Chain A
Amino acid sequence: MAETEAPRPRQRPIVRLGIFLISHSFSFSVVCCTAGVLALLLLPILAKNTYISENALMPGSANPMLSNQDVLEANRFVKDLIALNSKPRGSGIESQRLIAQYMKDLGAEVNYHKFHPQITQFHPLQFFSSPDSGTVERNISCSFHGVNTVGITRAPRGDGKEAIVLVTPYNSQKIKQAEALSLGTAYSVFSLLSRVTWLAKDIIWLVSDSQHGEYAAVSAWLRDYHIPMFTRLHTVNAETCPDINYLYDVRDNSVTGRKIYDGFKRAGTMAAALVIKVVDRSETFDDNLNIYAEASNGQMPNLDLINIVNYLAVHRQGFRVKVEKLWSLLDSKWLKNLGELFESVGQVVSSINPQWKFGIPAADYTEGIATLASSLYNQALGVPTGPHGAFRDYQVDAITLELSPRASVDKIIRQNDFLLRGGRLIEGVILSVNNLLEKFHQSFFLYLLTSPGKFVSVGVYMIAFALLVAPLPMVAASLYADAINLNSSQNNEKTVADEPGTALRSLKWVNAAKKVFVVHLWGSVVSLLPYFICQIPNRSPTVSFIIWFLLSVLSFFIMFLILASPFSHAKESQLHLREWAILKSVTMSATFIGLCLMSVINFSTAELGGLLLVPMCLMAQPMRRDIRVGSLSTLSRLAYNLVFCLIGFPPVTFVLLKGAFEGFNSINVGDFWCWVESLWAWSSATYLYIGMVHLPCWVLCIHILFHHC
């Protein structure tokens, strides 16, 4: 018949492309992985210069108004603060009183905020949700509280709906010179802002009590700011704690006679927050400004905020702006060579066509890579790099400005100059944010910094990740197709088109999937174990780690015996050929899904995890086969597999990285436990990633490696 004779319709191009890629999966995966790593290394060259995206900001358009008079006032404040150190009694309370007094003299609204720092504990059910205020334990001893001092200047003609927050952490027990200077800087700005007419947003100055950690104080204040609590906690405290009683006693005797409100004062929603810190690092060349931006889970503040700070600091106040870098990378030989290579390539390119801008000087390249690595590392860790991280949990853009003066700040002239410039910088930033009409939204939220003035946006860095993980589904498909074809041809030789054969074939796929699922289930059990281990009293990190390890191994065997083994053993007798290939393809698919999901939550974790997992997954092959063949290539592949599987084990990875950056002397088994503990304390998604993607994938690769075929 004509219909049967008609040629088969041509397949659509996308299907043909897919088939082509799957059939050439080996070369495809080699090219893609290389390109992925290369793209990552090229990021500093592809980085763009930052620019102010929001029209309303207009940084530096107005002359700073901060005068020497304000600086002199601030100096007096600093001196008074330091003088408190020599006083014998209760300097904590005294310093808060002093700060409140100074704030009140400026006409600001002042109140104290008492808080108990939250005890970090692993709550599996509240992993991503911030702990609500109801969980604050009531019967904490009085010595374990902190008192923040909050001053609010209302915008004279503003609508009171928005606010800008200045945060100066200081240790109320012992005030250091640098901390006093940071308070002085904020005070000079605050005193200016209490006089100006152009404020459209209220200014909140939070002097946070950092004796229990900088982050805890700020996050406690933010929690109370956003979640009103209707309890009588402070009165209970007032009855039991003599210190706080003292605080409220003395407020009535103040010179101005105005009472300090003992409730919680609020202003509008926060437009931005600046954490100001001064460190006495005695820089040799210039006054330095370090910008810290990473918040929990690799969230970043809007790039515009960093841009205005960078612009004002560099072009107006003459600070040398830095962002964190991995210093150890700066000296590495291979990076320098790579940078020189890229530089020469860039020269060749520009000689061909001067329009093409490619390549940067080798020194810039190494700096860019070091900054990028630090940016990636901090984001991947998911732990905020400073108190600004607390603001990000409430969707407020915040950064920490760490100012470090050139020489020692003992000399009074140097100190005045430093205060003036620091104050003018912060004034300029506040003026810009004050001009803002909405939240920061114009510029990027997803970016990596390669220098204070250069960034890589999400559209560029995703390419590197996409190239890296693209081979996973391709190789998985090709492995599966090969295994099926092999089986069917085998079956055809034995019995022609038997029904049970196809049924079993599909069952085998289900079987492999079940195995992978069980391992992933085990991964989540492992992630939950620390909750129980935490209940054990009096444990050292090392003991905890060993308990965790043993429990994990135990649970692994239990689960495997109960859930996985009966099926696998039953089927192995019949269809064992290339069973590992099917298992490998399912593992790869699961890893691919896990990595892609993680890249949405925290790109940096996914990128670093991909660098470890993808080569391991792609190369995993049963060891016995390699040994049986015994050629040079198979043996080298075997060695490669073993090395990667060793590196891929999370504790080993941790130890190697820590050793590379800090030296191997100080390494302790318990360190890994401490690290993991910090991860869940900050509810970092990296913890979940390690437990539920990385570890199962590693176990499955080991399983494939030791597979009997």
Chain B
Amino acid sequence: MLFKIRTLFDSMAVTPLYLYLFLFLGPSNFSNSPFAHGFPSSSSDTTMHTNNWAVLVCTSRFWFNYRHMANTLSLYRTVKRLGIPDERIILMLADDMACNARNKYPAQVFNNENHKLNLYGDNVEVDYRGYEVTVENFLRVLTGRHETAVPRSKRLLSDEGSHILLYMTGHGGDEFLKFQDSEELQSHDLADAVKQMKEKRRFKELLIMVDTCQAATLFSQLQSPGVLAIGSSMKGENSYSHHLDSDVGVSVVDRFTFYTLAFFERLNMYDNASLSSLFNSYNPSTLMSTAYYRTDLYQRRLEEVPVTNFFGSVMETIHTDAAYRAPSRKTSGRADIKTSPDKMVTDDQIKTTTNSNVLDQSSDQKQAKEHMMQDQACPFARLMSSFKNKVQTVEEADSLVNYGLVTMIPLLLLSTLL
């Protein structure tokens, strides 16, 4: 406990110095400074995980590919249930099975032959539908290069604190994924898009989950750090459907997705099940293929990452005095970042706390691991919210008091410096 407090104290003591430096030099200089190692990833390594996004893509058309749409809708339902709101889910469905004339149950989609759960209920927001689901649009969503007329609801407005879940299902092959029966997304395209995202600081961590034949081949070109990838099958393997609904007359779910869903059905928003427990839950004999995951680009240990980091949501809210006015400089360093030249236009939204990225430079990775749920050391600007979490997690009243005392000191220092 003592050790913890001391490191916390250290970090807090150093932070104002950095802040001062930062305010003085500006962010563009800062990124070139020795602290940033010349690569943007280093900044997001230590960035706070502040929000969650999900991009769920069903790439195949036609009635007999019913199961792909059911896969995607099932996952949509799951991530929604675990806390990602609709405005942070980009749902792309290449065809409309619910309203297909061949559907025995009009406007309903099921992922199980027991028909207990209609996946196509009232609260489904499909962002890209039918022929809008193309490789071009998919890459535009990932890289954020939209035409000006594209509404916000169809954009992936993630930032460097975002954890993104990218789920894709359809028909794939060696290093490609078929879109719409007419075009293909190649592993190079995907890797390139992810790289662009990394450079644009559009994510902190990215989990790519692919349920296709030979899904593992789609990850072979990925290079960007912070990317975790899992596929349903190795090279040369097929992904099979789980079961046939003899009432609807089609297969309704794929095996990999079925067992993923089975895993998540046991969880709720507050569960701490780790990613490794999810990955280990795949049994090659029931899957009839070997689930493959690529972790070499990912820094954290899977045992310590809760699945809710990707499939659930962290929502940080920052109180501002006025809704549409930029917060004054006095309250925090936020305004500087907003006006910084290398920031994207889409980033200047009030709901995300983009200031934390640079301030956290000093905070140690080890320390972050010690605070399991609290990912990293708390910056002073979000002290109150973190305190609320602490109160929930920390039992002993003594430590709470200690924390309080310790955190008072940097505040004092800061105010004197300013």
Contacts and interface: CB of A to CB of B under 8 A. Distances in A.
B103 interface: yes
A61 B63 contact: no
A58 B248 CA distance: 12
A179 to B, nearest CB: 32
A197 B62 contact: no
B64 to A, nearest CB: 5
B153 interface: no
Interface stretch (A155-163, A298-306, A450-458): A155-163
A199 B101 contact: yes
A389 B250 CA distance: 32
Interface string A153-195: 0011111000000000000000000000000000000000000
B104 interface: yes
B284 interface: no
Given A61-B244, A431-B249, A56 B101 contact: no
B404 interface: no
Given A61-B244, A61-B246, A435 B64 contact: yes
A58 B249 contact: yes
Given A431-B249, A435-B64, A435-B249, A200 B244 contact: no
Interface string A426-437: 000001001101
Contacts of B247: 62-63
Contacts of B101: 155-159, 198-200
B248 A197 contact: no
Interface string B83-114: 00000000000000001111111100000000
B103 A198 contact: yes
A435 B102 contact: yes
Interface in B38-74: 62-64
A55 interface: yes
A510 to B, nearest CB: 56
Nearest to A199: B101
B249 A61 contact: yes
A56 B249 contact: no
By size class, the interface of chain A is: 20 to 34
Contacts of A155: 101
Interface residues of B, number: 18
Interface in A31-85: 55-56, 58, 61-63
B3 to A, nearest CB: 62
A83 B305 CA distance: 78
Interface in A225-259: none
Contact of A437 (B62, B104, B250, B251): B62
Interface in A120-178: 155-159
B104 A63 contact: no
Contacts of A55: 62, 64
Contact of B63 (A157, A196, A199, A437): A437
B106 A63 contact: no
A156 B100 CA distance: 11
A197 B99 CA distance: 11
A62 B66 CA distance: 14
Nearest to A64: B246
B115 to A, nearest CB: 14
Contacts of B251: 61
B246 A56 contact: no
B63 A56 contact: yes
Interface string B241-255: 000101111110000
A434 B246 contact: no
**Residue in B63, B244, B247, B251 whose Cβ sees the most chain A Cβ within 10 Å:** B63
A62 B249 contact: yes
A574 B214 CA distance: 77
Contacts of B250: 58, 61
Nearest to A59: B249
- Which applies to chain B's interface (DSSP): helix, strand, loop or mixed? loop
A198 B244 CA distance: 17
B249 A157 contact: no
Given A198-B101, A198-B104, A435 B63 contact: yes
Given A62-B247, A435-B249, A56 B62 contact: yes
B32 to A, nearest CB: 54
Contacts of B106: 157, 197
B104 A58 contact: no
B240 to A, nearest CB: 14
Contact of A200 (B64, B100, B246): B100
Nearest to A156: B101
Interface string B106-128: 10000000000000000000000
A250 B250 CA distance: 46
A197 B248 CA distance: 11
Nearest to B100: A200
**Residue in B62, B64, B246, B247 whose Cβ sees the most chain A Cβ within 10 Å:** B64
Nearest to A428: B249
Interface string B186-208: 00000000000000000000000
A485 B341 CA distance: 91
Nearest to A160: B101
Contact of A56 (B64, B104, B244, B248): B64
**Residue in B104, B105, B106, B249 whose Cβ sees the most chain A Cβ within 10 Å:** B249
A434 B244 CA distance: 18
Nearest to B249: A62
Contact of A198 (B62, B64, B99, B102): B102
Contacts of B62: 55-56, 437
B64 A58 contact: yes
A62 B248 contact: yes
Nearest to A54: B64
A199 B250 CA distance: 15
B62 to A, nearest CB: 6
Nearest to A201: B101
Interface in B224-248: 244, 246-248
A200 B249 contact: no
A267 to B, nearest CB: 14
A63 B63 contact: no
A49 B144 CA distance: 51
Interface in B132-189: none
Contacts of A157: 99, 101, 106
Nearest to B103: A198
Nearest to B246: A63
A55 to B, nearest CB: 5
A62 B246 contact: yes
Interface string B328-344: 00000000000000000
A157 B104 CA distance: 10
Interface string A193-227: 00011111000000000000000000000000000
Nearest to A432: B249
Interface of A: 55-56, 58, 61-63, 155-159, 196-200, 431, 434-435, 437
Given A197-B106, A434-B102, 8 more contacts: A56-B63, A58-B250, A61-B246, A157-B99, A196-B104, A199-B102, A435-B63, A435-B64
24 contacts: A55-B62, A55-B64, A56-B62, A56-B64, A62-B246, A62-B247, A62-B248, A62-B249, A63-B246, A63-B247, A155-B101, A156-B101, A157-B99, A157-B101, A157-B106, A158-B101, A197-B103, A197-B104, A198-B101, A198-B103, A434-B102, A435-B63, A435-B64, A435-B249
* 5 closest A-B pairs by CB: A62-B249, A200-B101, A157-B101, A158-B101, A63-B246
